[in-house]
Structure 1
Amino acid sequence: MDTRRPPSFRGVAFEVDSNSRPIGRRVQIDEYPLRDYASSEDLGAKARTFGLEALIVGDDYVERRNRFEDALEQPGPGELIHPSRGRLWVVLVSGDISESSSESGMVRYSLTFAEIGERPARTEATDTAAVAQTSAEAVGEVAAADFTKGFSIGGQPDWVLTEAGKLVGQAQDRFDTLASRLSGYGQPLNDFIARGKALRSGVLTLAGSPASLGTEVTGLIQGFRQLARTPGDALSLLKGLMTFGLGFDAPATTTSGRKRQAANQAAIIDLIETTAAAEAVRAAADLSFASYDEAVATRDALSDALEDLGLAAAEAGHDDAAQAIEDARLAISADINARGADLARLTTFTPVGVEPAVVIAYRLYGPANLEARELDIVSRNRIRHPGFVPAGLPLEVLNG
């Protein structure tokens, strides 16, 4: 079986235990009285079908199982990456699912696909990145609206304002920590830092206008995406803000003032986390991937983070936010699936002797783009001396 082609259906990966395919033609057999031999009529080629004994296995098998079964049950044809026959445009004809208590963490599938020909040409391609960007914008709008409705200091004791200011100060501490990773960005970074200082010093005044306070906090979070050198850098920074609320205990709600303090704390945390989620989706939609595996890892990590955030919003009764986050999760997953589908997969190569990276690149890929291939091997594996790649250590390389 050709393990250089990791199997998948509609972009969802699975493992294969075995595969089969019937062969032959459609033949009509005619038998007549008093004749010893039958005659046949060739009716053309049979539909090409493929049987796969598929597996979903691993600690995360439940989530992967659900995504795989969603893909199997979608109507219409889809793309199957067959382990030995490559890309096929197929429909699922039949399938059986089997789970056993003796095989924990595993589900088995007996699947039959029928090939229906070439994938039809698209007359109008969907700009999946643009769809994801639009969904991110909707998340940001809901975050701002929910904050304006949920935060208030009107008619409250002074200490309620003071506590809100302390929490915004803690948020700014986190912003400053992340901004320290943006060294060498010149005047734009200086302006960003100055804006943060203005928020810290003016928070007690801004708190009187929830919309103004929300705008300042949102602007700083958006600044991380705008300032970062690459979308990948931005995504790394923003994912840290998507869990800003971890570690904060909800205040006791024994008095009206404490209830307002708790509501304000929740509003500030939700604004930061949800705005960070919106900007993370924007960054991911701008991100280019070097391999299919990198795309899948990014998709899964971001999807999990968005799912957690959406569930928390739903539990808090913020239905609009929960729906917007779920829409963004589906949009960015579809975008990464579309852009990553044709990328090279990762595999491993183990040199049997010490040799230069350029020799390994030539052996794996031939003379085309040799310098770029060499650099990819060196950077991907953090090779200190490209002229002397150690023997016996598996290298992560692109497959094709």
Structure 2
Amino acid sequence: MNCMNWLNDLLPASFRGVPFQVNGTSSEFGRRNQTHEYPFRDVPYTEDLGRAARKNKIEAFVIGDDHKEQAEKLIDAIETEGAGILIHPMLGELNVNIVDTATVSNSVENGRMSVISFSFVEAGELIFPDSSVATDDVVDENADNAEQQLLAVFDDFDLVDVPDFVQSGILDDTTSILNEITETYNTVNPSVHDEVKNLNNHLSSILSTGGQSIVYSLKNVWSSVSKLDYSVNRLVSKVNMFTGIAFIKQLAPCYIWPIDSKSTQKRKKNQNLINTAIRVTALTEAARIMALLPKQVEDKKKHAFASVALASTKGKKENAVNQRYTSSATHSMSFDDLLALKKSINESFDKELSRTEHDDLYFALVKLKAAINQDIHTRLIKIEKTMVYIPNQVLPDLVLSHYLYNNATRWDDISIRNNVLHPGFVPVKVLRVPTP
């Protein structure tokens, strides 16, 4: 057996395409550890700062009558700025940076040969801190802007020198519209009834004060309804409630005909402004609620094949079961839930945009719609896609988690997400679980 067969497996060495021969190589590697020593403490603490850069040294040589020309080419390659491809005889193709200084040696004993020694490290990557836009703040800013443009629209609101019967008609119509909102959404959010009732009691004085009072009063009503409960389920229902206001028939704009009397035209114009205020303030409140929804960050550890610690898992499960009965905020939105919410919001904004006659308000609503869609997009890319799954038999959630994900610690994706009453007995029913 020939002991030198390993030489046949060596690769022809080169750097940036310049070939050379190799006399020997050496490598340095390890961990970057920093040892901290403290006063009056005998035992130090060593902090692991990660893997050290792998450093190699090559003893290269070129041989032949043109060895000087070959050496010059290799020197030019070594002095070229930036990383380059090195073909290492044993390590293969590497992307490297030259470090320290290289040396070229010539001797009488080794005529027709130049020896070039140089060191290199792995090139690695230039990575900067990742920046991201606070999309929820952008939504709030655009909601404020839309409301400012709505206030500008109300410069046209005027009940001065308007006959009493016109004012009474506007008051009656507005009260009827608000009552319809109450009847429509009382089952979704019972607090709507109390807030709208309070507004109706003071509506006459609010209308007589002017447009700004109307807008601010509506904003206060909607925000009061929103602040009572911050659980995810309730927030989602409120978003749907406020976006649904755009489709109430009584809130549709009244067409002002040229043949209408002046009093009728004024009544329709002012009523249209009030209806616009109701619709737009409802949309801006829906946008702000969207910004309140918790942002979910993908837990990459869930995808690891973690070992199961029965004792700690049991304690975790008991705490989670208790939380189910004490908090309604354990529900997290699925990919499909958020897509459905996005669809309903866009439909409501499109409906309002088709009605908007004022340019500045139109552009403000367009920007707000874009901000909401961007915010939803950032949430979608962080949420796991889900699927419908029906177990074949009653099993513990740990067993189902192991079956679905090869990871028994993901039991919460089954039990908590689907409000399973007892984690030891997941029923045979339709479950919504993350896609494996």
Q: TM-score, normalised by structure 1?
A: 0.59
Q: 1:343-362 alignment to 2 at 5 Å?
A: 343-362=383-402
Higher deviation after alignment, 348-357 or 336-345: 348-357
| 8 Å Cα contact 2:399-2:408 kept in structure 1 | no
Query: 1:176 Cα shift?
Result: 3.3
1 CA distance for matches of 2:225 and 2:125? 44
Out of 167, 170, 173, the residue aligned to residue 161 of structure 1 is 167
Asked if structure 1 preserves the Cα contact closer than 8 Å seen for 2:401 and 2:410, the reply is no
Task: Check 1:175–1:120 CA distance in 2 against 1; reply closer, same or farther (3 A cut).
Answer: farther
Q: Is the 8 A contact 1:225 1:235 kept in 2?
A: no
Q: Could you tell me how far apart the structure 2 residues matched to 1:279 and 1:133 are?
A: 9
Identity value in percent: 17
Q: Distance in 2 between matches of 1:118 and 1:296?
A: 36
Distance change (3 Å), C-alpha of 1:212 and 1:353 = closer
Q: CA RMSD in A?
A: 3.3
Task: Trace 1:66-215 onto structure 2 (pairs within 5 A).
Answer: 121-146=128-153, 148-177=154-183, 178=185, 181-183=188-190, 196-210=196-210, 211-215=212-216
Partners of 1:219 and 1:270 in 2: how far apart?
16
The answer on 1:284 being equivalent to 2:327 is no
Determine if the alignment matches structure 1 residue 398 to structure 2 residue 402.
no
**Matches of 1:223 and 1:275 in 2, distance apart?**
13
The counterpart of 1:306, out of the listed 330, 349, 362, is 349
Residue 266 to residue 157, structure 1, CA distance change in 2 (3 Å)? same
Would you say 1:226 and 2:230 are equivalent positions? Answer: no
1:256 paired to 2:262: yes
Contact 2:251 / 2:279 at 8 angstroms: preserved in 1? Answer: no
Distance 1:246 1:173, change over 3 A: closer
Distance 1:386 1:276 in 2: 44
Measure the CA separation in 1 of the matches of 2:125 and 2:391.
39
Q: Which residue of 2 aligns with 1:240?
A: 244
Q: 1:307, 1:118 → 2: CA distance? A: 45
Native 8 Å contact 2:245 2:282 kept in 1: yes
Instruction: Give the aligned residue type for 1:282.
Output: R
> Using the alignment, how far apart are the partners of 1:228 and 1:369 within structure 2?
28
Distance in 2 between the 1:118 and 1:241 partners? 52
Cα separation, partners in 2 of 1:217 and 1:394, compared to 1, 3 Å: closer
State the secondary structure of the residue aligned to 1:396.
strand
Which structure has the greater CA radius of gyration?
A: 2
Which residue does 1:269 correspond to in 2? 275
Q: Which residue of 1 aligns with 2:381?
A: 341
With over 3 angstroms needed to count, the CA separation of the structure-2 counterparts of 1:224 and 1:326, relative to structure 1, is same
Q: Any conservation in 2 of the 1:251–1:261 contact (CA below 8 Å)? A: no
* 1:367 aligned residue (408, 411, 428): 408
Letter in 2 for 1:239: T
Residues 123/152 of structure 1: CA separation in 2 closer, same or farther (3 Å cut) = same
> Mean Cα displacement is larger for which, 128-137 or 283-292?
283-292
Deviation at 1:245, TM superposition (A): 4.6
How far residue 278 of structure 1 moved from its aligned partner, in angstroms, is 0.6
Secondary structure of 2:355's counterpart equals helix
Secondary structure of the residue aligned to 1:232 is: helix
Cα 1:296–1:121 change in 2 (3 A) is farther
Question: Secondary structure of 2:289's partner?
Answer: helix
Deviations 1:354-393 (A, max 9, x none): 54555323322322142x22324533xx899983633xx6
* 2:13 matched residue in structure 1: none
* Closer/same/farther in 2, CA of residues 120 and 345 from structure 1, 3 Å limit: farther
2:427 corresponds to: 389
Distance of aligned partners of 1:270 and 1:305 in 2 relative to their CA distance in 1, 3 Å threshold: same
TM score, norm. by length of structure 2: 0.55
User: Alpha-carbon deviation of 1:118?
Assistant: 9.0
